[in-house]
Amino acid sequence: MEIVHLLRAVTVDLGRHSARFAQHNGMHPTDVRALIVLMDAYRAGTETTAGQLGAALALNSAGTTALVDRLERAGHVRRVRDQRDRRKVTIEVDERAITLGRQHFGPLIDRAVALLHRYDERERAAIRDFLTGVREAAAQEDD
Protein backbone atom coordinates (compact mmCIF):
# COMPACT_ATOMS: atom_id res chain seq x y z
CA MET A 1 0.00 0.00 0.00
CA GLU A 2 2.94 2.35 0.51
CA ILE A 3 3.48 2.67 -3.25
CA VAL A 4 -0.25 3.25 -3.85
CA HIS A 5 -0.27 6.02 -1.23
CA LEU A 6 2.89 7.50 -2.74
CA LEU A 7 1.25 7.49 -6.18
CA ARG A 8 -1.75 9.32 -4.70
CA ALA A 9 0.58 11.92 -3.18
CA VAL A 10 2.37 12.36 -6.53
CA THR A 11 -1.01 12.85 -8.21
CA VAL A 12 -1.92 15.56 -5.70
CA ASP A 13 1.45 17.29 -6.14
CA LEU A 14 1.20 17.21 -9.93
CA GLY A 15 -2.34 18.56 -9.67
CA ARG A 16 -1.07 21.48 -7.60
CA HIS A 17 1.68 22.12 -10.14
CA SER A 18 -0.92 22.16 -12.92
CA ALA A 19 -3.23 24.41 -10.86
CA ARG A 20 -0.40 26.93 -10.41
CA PHE A 21 0.09 26.98 -14.17
CA ALA A 22 -3.64 27.52 -14.71
CA GLN A 23 -3.86 30.28 -12.11
CA HIS A 24 -0.73 32.04 -13.34
CA ASN A 25 -2.08 32.05 -16.90
CA GLY A 26 -5.71 32.93 -16.09
CA MET A 27 -6.97 29.50 -17.08
CA HIS A 28 -9.44 27.01 -15.67
CA PRO A 29 -7.98 23.60 -14.71
CA THR A 30 -10.09 22.04 -17.49
CA ASP A 31 -8.34 24.35 -19.97
CA VAL A 32 -5.01 22.85 -18.91
CA ARG A 33 -6.36 19.30 -19.22
CA ALA A 34 -7.63 20.15 -22.72
CA LEU A 35 -4.25 21.50 -23.77
CA ILE A 36 -2.60 18.31 -22.49
CA VAL A 37 -5.01 16.17 -24.55
CA LEU A 38 -4.32 18.31 -27.62
CA MET A 39 -0.54 18.28 -27.10
CA ASP A 40 -0.58 14.50 -26.70
CA ALA A 41 -2.49 14.23 -29.99
CA TYR A 42 -0.04 16.65 -31.63
CA ARG A 43 2.93 14.54 -30.49
CA ALA A 44 1.18 11.40 -31.75
CA GLY A 45 0.44 13.05 -35.11
CA THR A 46 -3.33 12.60 -34.74
CA GLU A 47 -6.13 15.07 -35.28
CA THR A 48 -8.64 15.95 -32.57
CA THR A 49 -12.19 17.06 -33.22
CA ALA A 50 -14.22 18.97 -30.65
CA GLY A 51 -16.27 15.82 -30.07
CA GLN A 52 -13.14 13.79 -29.34
CA LEU A 53 -11.83 16.49 -27.02
CA GLY A 54 -15.14 16.62 -25.17
CA ALA A 55 -15.19 12.83 -24.80
CA ALA A 56 -11.63 12.81 -23.47
CA LEU A 57 -12.59 15.41 -20.85
CA ALA A 58 -16.09 14.03 -20.14
CA LEU A 59 -17.72 17.29 -21.25
CA ASN A 60 -21.03 17.73 -23.00
CA SER A 61 -21.28 19.53 -26.35
CA ALA A 62 -22.06 22.95 -24.85
CA GLY A 63 -19.21 22.67 -22.35
CA THR A 64 -16.80 21.62 -25.07
CA THR A 65 -17.82 24.55 -27.29
CA ALA A 66 -17.35 27.00 -24.41
CA LEU A 67 -13.95 25.45 -23.64
CA VAL A 68 -12.72 25.64 -27.25
CA ASP A 69 -14.06 29.20 -27.60
CA ARG A 70 -12.20 30.23 -24.43
CA LEU A 71 -8.93 28.59 -25.55
CA GLU A 72 -9.25 30.08 -29.03
CA ARG A 73 -9.83 33.60 -27.66
CA ALA A 74 -6.73 33.19 -25.51
CA GLY A 75 -4.68 32.16 -28.56
CA HIS A 76 -3.98 28.64 -27.26
CA VAL A 77 -5.83 26.72 -30.00
CA ARG A 78 -7.28 27.19 -33.44
CA ARG A 79 -10.12 25.53 -35.32
CA VAL A 80 -8.99 24.10 -38.65
CA ARG A 81 -11.36 22.97 -41.43
CA ASP A 82 -10.44 19.73 -43.16
CA GLN A 83 -9.37 20.41 -46.78
CA ARG A 84 -11.19 17.31 -48.11
CA ASP A 85 -14.33 17.49 -45.95
CA ARG A 86 -15.15 21.10 -45.06
CA ARG A 87 -17.73 19.88 -42.50
CA LYS A 88 -14.95 18.39 -40.39
CA VAL A 89 -13.21 20.78 -38.01
CA THR A 90 -10.22 19.81 -35.93
CA ILE A 91 -8.78 21.60 -32.92
CA GLU A 92 -5.05 22.29 -33.04
CA VAL A 93 -2.88 23.53 -30.22
CA ASP A 94 -1.01 26.72 -31.07
CA GLU A 95 2.77 26.81 -30.85
CA ARG A 96 2.48 29.66 -28.30
CA ALA A 97 0.60 27.33 -25.93
CA ILE A 98 3.27 24.66 -26.38
CA THR A 99 5.96 27.22 -25.56
CA LEU A 100 4.01 28.44 -22.53
CA GLY A 101 3.61 24.88 -21.28
CA ARG A 102 7.27 24.11 -21.87
CA GLN A 103 8.29 27.16 -19.82
CA HIS A 104 6.26 26.01 -16.82
CA PHE A 105 6.41 22.22 -17.04
CA GLY A 106 9.81 21.86 -18.75
CA PRO A 107 11.93 21.96 -15.59
CA LEU A 108 9.73 19.33 -13.92
CA ILE A 109 9.87 17.13 -17.02
CA ASP A 110 13.64 17.53 -17.19
CA ARG A 111 13.96 16.45 -13.54
CA ALA A 112 11.70 13.44 -14.14
CA VAL A 113 13.70 12.38 -17.21
CA ALA A 114 16.96 12.73 -15.27
CA LEU A 115 15.47 10.59 -12.51
CA LEU A 116 14.46 7.90 -15.03
CA HIS A 117 18.05 7.74 -16.29
CA ARG A 118 18.98 6.27 -12.90
CA TYR A 119 17.08 3.11 -13.84
CA ASP A 120 18.09 0.48 -16.37
CA GLU A 121 15.79 -0.48 -19.25
CA ARG A 122 14.31 -3.45 -17.37
CA GLU A 123 13.42 -1.23 -14.41
CA ARG A 124 11.95 1.43 -16.71
CA ALA A 125 9.86 -1.27 -18.39
CA ALA A 126 8.53 -2.28 -14.95
CA ILE A 127 7.72 1.35 -14.12
CA ARG A 128 6.01 1.78 -17.51
CA ASP A 129 4.01 -1.42 -16.98
CA PHE A 130 2.91 -0.34 -13.50
CA LEU A 131 1.84 3.14 -14.60
CA THR A 132 0.02 1.75 -17.64
CA GLY A 133 -1.80 -0.69 -15.36
CA VAL A 134 -2.79 2.09 -12.97
CA ARG A 135 -4.15 4.15 -15.88
CA GLU A 136 -6.16 1.17 -17.10
CA ALA A 137 -7.49 0.55 -13.59
CA ALA A 138 -8.46 4.21 -13.23
CA ALA A 139 -10.25 4.14 -16.60
CA GLN A 140 -12.50 1.26 -15.52
CA GLU A 141 -15.89 2.42 -14.39
CA ASP A 142 -17.09 1.19 -11.03
CA ASP A 143 -20.50 -0.41 -10.98
31-59 pLDDT, tens digit each: 999 999 999 999 999 999 999 999 999 99
Nearest-5° Cα angle at 88, 93 to 29 = 35
For every residue of 59-89, DSSP letters joined together read --HHHHHHHHHHHHHTTSEEEEE-SS-TT-E
Report the share of the chain in percent with pLDDT over 70.
Answer: 99
Phi, psi (deg, nearest 5) at residue 81: -75, 135
Q: What are the tens digits of pLDDT across the range 97-107?
A: 999 999 999 99
Q: What is the pLDDT of residue 83?
A: 85
Give the pLDDT of residue 143. 52
